[in-house]
Amino acid sequence: MHMNKFKLKKIQELLEHTNKSLGETLGYSIYLNQCKQIENLLSGKSKVTPILLIALECLARRSNKLKEFNEIINTSDQDE
């Protein structure tokens, strides 16, 4: 599976998380009401690791949104 910043943004929206709430859920540091790690991922400065992809899949499963998650993941990068 391949994840880019566009797919990450769609998954964030699917899971109904802000940058801060997604960062908190994933255990990232929050400073001044923001999560720099999520911002770096969404801007493309950082790459989505396999562990992060698994964590996002787990969040989708808990939200009963696995089907939608898989649809986002399996879309072609050319569709972005």
pLDDT in tens, 8-57: 999 999 999 999 999 999 999 988 888 999 999 999 999 999 999 999 99
Whether 20 and 30 have beta carbons less than 8 Å apart is answered as yes
Q: What confidence category does residue 59 fall into, taking pLDDT thresholds of 50, 70 and 90?
A: very high
pTM exceeds 0.85, yes or no = yes
Please tell me the predicted confidence (pLDDT) of residue 2: 73
Whole-number Å distance between alpha carbons of 80 and 72: 10
Tokens of 28: 């990232």
Domain boundaries, the chain: 5-75
Instruction: Please give the pLDDT value at position 17.
Output: 96
Q: Give dist(CA 61, CA 22) in Å, integer.
A: 15
Identity of residue 61? R
Residues 6+ apart with CB under 8 A from 34: 19, 20
How far apart are alpha carbons 68 and 57 in whole angstroms? 10
Q: Is the pLDDT of residue 1 over 80?
A: no
**What mean pLDDT is predicted for residues 69-77?**
89
